Amino acid sequence: MPPAPPAPPSLEADRSRPSTPPIPTDPGDALLFHELGTHMREAFWLRDARTQAILYVSPSFATVFSRPCETLYQGPEALLALIHPEDRERLATARARVDTAYEEEYRVVRDDGSFGWILGRGFPVRGPEGEVRHILELCEDITPWRRTEDDLRTTNDIMRALIQASPVAILALNLEHRVVLWNSAAERMFGWSAIEVLGHVHPIVSAEEQDDFRGLFQSVLEGGGFTGVETRRRRRDGTFIEVSISTAPMRDPDGQVVAAMALLEDITERKRSERALAEELARRAALAAENARLYQQAQDAVRLRDEFLSIASHELRTPCTSVRLAIQSLLRLHRASAAGSAANATAPAGPASPVRTGGAIPPEFLTQALEVASRQTTHLSNLIDQLLDVTRITAGRLTLHLADVDLSKLVREVVTDFRGELERSGTPLTLEVTDEIRGRWDASRLEQVMINLLSNAIKYGAGKPIAVRATREGDRARVTVRDHGIGIPPDRQHIIFERFGRAVSGRHYGGLGLGLYIVRCILDELGGTIQVESTLGAGSTFTIELPCAGPPPRTEDEAT
Amino acid sequence: MPAENTGQTPQDVLVVDDDADIRNLLSSVLTIEGYAVSSASNGEEALSKLRGVPGTRLILLDLRMPVMDGWEFRAEQTRDPALSHIPVVVLSGDGDLERATASFSGASVLKKPFDLEELITVVQRYF
């Protein structure tokens, strides 16, 4: 609350105590004085230059000094008593020079004990002779701004200290990209001192990053600072560091953006460790995947081996069974016959009353048994050959004995050898061969190829007709073996030439699962090819082609 | 002379094996031994013979066969009340015979190559 204005618009009351004559004397002037004193924010008073007596005190004194106006009338020293002791002497000195104006900022002690800041000014008021008659003193309360100024100064000091102490490079660029701030971290990070770069266009963006930089800079100017943009910046020595940049626009008092401030954090090391970590993770993942693959491969190999051993044992046992059965049955009959010739054979008991003949071994059975034994020992020997072949192929030791071979003769002979088997399985076969197909091949390996293809055709041919055809096509020989049997499902056609690969379950069809694999390997060695066309349930056609000139010479690469 | 086993005569023993040599030899030997023998080259053929000619008293069964294998045959046989009582002797060269014949409860099992005398002893047990 402002203090109540003094009652009368006259100077009489104001100078009731001082003995000096009232100034001004003119009533109009006095009124003007009073009006000024009432409405001005500043306090003012009039001092007699000679006596130092206070002649007039404006009402606003009470507001500015938070003391009643009467305080000042108590004497020349009354004002100094209100002043902060540290400022008192300075003010006293200034006020003592009556003939010159003064301007001093000083602290006043308010009645609540707090300080206020006063801007005090004094002017000599001269008489007609130029002599100083009065001193007019004006006092303005500048406490609010002194506070703001102090606050600002403190803030500035803190900011400056922070900027200089920051481990993060802090810099500011004006609209022309000239450096207006460059802290010591920036000096360390980039190698240029503040003196070298201040006022110059900043040197830390390389030519290839200029476009990128301009885009970022523009975004700051448009008022949008950004945080944590990762890019790279150039150092004085030409090397690059990876940085994370955060920015903010700097504005003038009108709110216009005049510069962009940027904080740059060196993240080179962090990026390096991130990359190292990523690489390590990738390496471990690859290792784990590789281990999993190797484990799977090992598992598959073990499974394949077990499966193969199971099939192989079955396959080897089958001919053994026939041979043993043939021999043991002959032996049994022979013994019975020998015993029967000595005494009558004893018939075994049983409801079916089977009767063992006591005579000689029936000749047709003898033939049957011996034929089985002979055929199955051959079969057994073939199985063993196949196993050995696979071992040789795996070891890369499938050697060829190349010679002049007539393929049509060879095909005819193999088919002839199959006559018995064809009859037993009731399979008709048609053979169509060109008279003579000569080439440089391995006769026994080609025989093996034909035997395997014909065995398969009979085995999977369901007793339906088989057609074998051998022709010469330019410098190549071609043999096709066509059956009309069960065929091969499309999704199995690619595996039948693989080791142990079979199109049908081993539970249903015997065999080692090696025949076509061996055929393919032999043809590979001879420089030939094998292909299959098949329709499920309608049969398969195997076509082999061989260069008549024999296998092409091997290059070093292939040989290894 | 071995007893001929024509289509409709009751068969004592049914030999089921896809290997023609084994099938034929076994048939011959058992015929000479005095049994009425019939044969089949797979499970399906065996089922049709069993259903066509009643009176089979023993089945000699191979396991790995085309069309219908021994396991499938056994499943079909046990499902058919008219056939389920017929005893089975498994003749197999399977590597792990114990596991392979786990589903053949009560059946005799002979590992190929089997001993003929042993087989005949086993067969005689059922007559």
**Rounded distance between C-alpha atoms, residue A205 and residue A234, angstroms:** 6
The predicted model scores a pTM of 0.52
- For A367, the closest chain B residue by CA position comes to B25
What is the ipTM score, two decimals?
Answer: 0.88
CA distance B39 to chain A (A): 15
**Rounded distance between C-alpha atoms, residue A102 and residue A65, angstroms:** 19
Residues of chain B positioned with their CB less than 8 A from the CB of A316: 93
Residues of chain A positioned with their CB less than 8 A from the CB of B93: 313-314, 316-318, 320-321
Q: What is the mean pLDDT of chain B?
A: 87
Task: Say which amino acid occupies A255.
Answer: G
Query: Using an 8 Å Cβ cutoff, are A335 and B110 in contact?
Result: no
Query: Using an 8 Å Cβ cutoff, are A471 and A478 in contact?
Result: yes
Provide the terminal-to-terminal Cα distance of chain B, rounded to the nearest Å. Answer: 21
Phi-psi map region of A456: left, alpha, beta (phi>0 left; psi -120 to 50 alpha): alpha
Query: Using an 8 Å Cβ cutoff, are A126 and A141 in contact?
Result: no
CB contacts < 8 A (A, B): 120
pLDDT, tens digit, for every residue of B33-81?
999 999 999 999 999 999 988 889 999 999 988 889 999 999 999 999 9
Phi (first) and psi of residue A120, to 5 degrees? -105, 135
CA distance B7 to chain A (A): 18
Chain position carrying tokens 């008219």: B82
Name residues 406-425 of chain A within 8 A of B (Cβ): 424-425
- Give the number of residues written for chain B: 127
Confidence (pLDDT) at A20: 39
Confidence (pLDDT) at A79: 87
Mark the ranges of chain A whose per-residue pLDDT is less than 70. 1-28, 341-359, 505-508, 510, 555-560
**Rounded distance between C-alpha atoms, residue A49 and residue A76, angstroms:** 11
Phi (first) and psi of residue A97, to 5 degrees? -80, 85
Confidence (pLDDT) at A373: 93
Confidence (pLDDT) at A27: 61
Q: Which helix (H) or strand (E) holds A518?
A: helix A515-525
Cβ pair A368:B2 closer than 8 A: no
**Rounded distance between C-alpha atoms, residue A81 and residue A37, angstroms:** 23
Query: Using an 8 Å Cβ cutoff, are B26 and B15 in contact?
Result: yes
